Amino acid sequence: MNDTNMPSTVLDRLSGALDALSPQARKAATYVLENPADVGVSTVREIAQAAQVTPNTVMRMARAAGFDGYDDFRAPFRAAIRSGAASFPDRARWLQDVAGAGALGGLYADMITSALQNIEETFANITEPQLTAAAKAIWAARRVFTLGVGVNNSNARNFTYLASTGMVDFHAIPRPGSSPIDDLAWADGRDVLIAITCKPYRTEVVEAVHLAREQGMTIIALSDSPASPIIRASDHGFVLAADTPQFFPSSVSTIALLETLLSFVIAVASPEIVERVETFHARRHRLGIYEEPQS
């Protein structure tokens, strides 16, 4: 976390009060201004120790900046972490701090709220024609490659697994022992790349998208900002809301959007897809993959 990630009004207020503070309070304020990431995850004693002042000095600093006390002063910094305006380690430390303070009920509520808000915000900005256009591109493609690394690797593979029950030539990349750019070596304008990455954007995904663009592929991008490099390079871009108290971006809206996109693909597909799905599952029953009910 850096200054631009914190509520600017808090830091501006503290900076403006600097000259009026006592030398010790100024020392505490200077530490906060130089290390804002520490505030949201530290107690008053921890900040005092780091700044080499007393806890009472930190309290006086907070009041001089217009707050009732340290907890009131720290609240905007904690809110910034909850909203995702923090580095992964800062957010992990915040989770530990919440647990240590016995505030898991609040964390539980925050997780539920963020999940619901992410779904609502994501779909509020996506239209039926957008989904239809992307779905038609997928159905018309010769091959479809779904790319996700890190936390999004499982999301990409789950989408590919579900799609493969009714469609052929769906490939989750990178394949084991390979790289995305190698997996796309023979792809061209007849193929589709579905790419997923959220801040901090993974370089291998961004590079693969630019390569796919050069090769004439149709690109469907899922990311968390209209300014995302893969959204800007895409033919069909979908902006996800991924805020969460957790220290990785939330996958809730990613999964929901992929499931919705797949339902649109099935809806726009030719009737043969129904027969394919039926054949796929009949084969599974025949091979004993499912536990059959006892007669």
- Mean pLDDT (whole number) for 19-46: 83
Q: What is the pLDDT of residues 115-163, one digit of tens each?
A: 888 898 899 889 999 999 999 999 999 999 999 999 899 999 999 998 8
Residue 91 pLDDT greater than 80, yes or no: no
Mean pLDDT is lowest, of 2-11, 75-84, 85-94, 168-177, for: 2-11
Residues 209 and 256 in one domain: yes
User: What's the CA gap between 64 and 61, in Å, rounded?
Assistant: 5
The two structure tokens encoding residue 251: 């996958």
> Which pLDDT score, from 0 to 100, does residue 100 have?
66
The phi and psi torsions of 173 (rounded to 5 degrees) equal: -130, 155
Is 104 a domain residue? no
Q: How far is CA 24 from CA 14, 43, 242, in A?
A: 14, 18, 41
Domain boundary among 28, 60, 85: 85
pLDDT higher for 113 or 8? 113
Residues 75 and 127 in one domain: no
> Which pLDDT score, from 0 to 100, does residue 240 have?
93
HEC-encoded secondary structure of the chain: CCHHHCCHHHHHHHHHCHHHCCHHHHHHHHHHHHCHHHHCCCCHHHHHHHHCCCHHHHHHHHHHCCCCCHHHHHHHHHHHHHCCCCCHHHHHHHHHHHHHCCCHHHHHHHHHHHHHHHHHHHHHCCCHHHHHHHHHHHHHCCCEEEEECCHHHHHHHHHHHHHCCCCCCEEEECCCCCCHHHHCCCCCCCCEEEEECCCCCCHHHHHHHHHHHHCCCEEEEEECCCCCHHHHCCCEEEECCCCCCCCCCCCHHHHHHHHHHHHHHHHHCCCHHHHHHHHHHHHHHHCCCCCCCCC
Q: What is the CATH number of the domain that holds 258?
A: 3.40.50.10490
Q: Calculate the average pLDDT of the chain.
A: 84
Is 107 a domain residue? no
Q: How far is CA 238 from CA 117, 155, 170, in A?
A: 16, 15, 20
Q: What is the pLDDT of residues 223-279, one digit of tens each?
A: 998 889 999 999 999 999 887 766 677 899 999 999 999 999 988 887 777 677 777
Residues 132 and 206 in one domain: yes
Residues 137 and 188 in one domain: yes
Q: What is the CATH number of the domain that holds 53?
A: 1.10.10.10
Residues 134 and 234 in one domain: yes
Residues 138 and 220 in one domain: yes
* Block residue for tokens 């000095």: 57
The letter for the amino acid at 196 is I
pLDDT higher for 40 or 45? 45
Is 225 a domain residue? yes
Residues 130 and 254 in one domain: yes
Is 186 a domain residue? yes
> Which pLDDT score, from 0 to 100, does residue 126 have?
93
Is 294 a domain residue? no
Residues 59 and 199 in one domain: no
Residue 1 pLDDT greater than 50, yes or no: no
Domain boundary among 25, 60, 85: 85
Residues 134 and 231 in one domain: yes
Phi-psi region of 71 (alpha: psi -120 to 50; beta: other; left: phi over 0): alpha
> Which pLDDT score, from 0 to 100, does residue 87 have?
58
The letter for the amino acid at 264 is F
State the total domains in the chain.
2
Return the exposure string of 61-97: e unless at least 16 CB atoms fall within 10 Å of the residue's CB, then b. Answer: bbbbbebeebeebbebbbebbbebbbeeebbbbbbeb
Residues 149 and 235 in one domain: yes
Supply the pTM of this predicted model: 0.65
Domain extent for 161: 118-286
pLDDT higher for 23 or 168? 23
Residues 80 and 125 in one domain: no
The two structure tokens encoding residue 111: 């997780």
> Which pLDDT score, from 0 to 100, does residue 98 have?
64
Is 240 a domain residue? yes
Is 108 a domain residue? no
Task: Report the residue count for the chain.
Answer: 295
Is 52 a domain residue? yes
Domain boundary among 33, 68, 85: 85
> Which pLDDT score, from 0 to 100, does residue 3 have?
37
Residues 247 and 143 in one domain: yes
> Which pLDDT score, from 0 to 100, does residue 4 have?
38
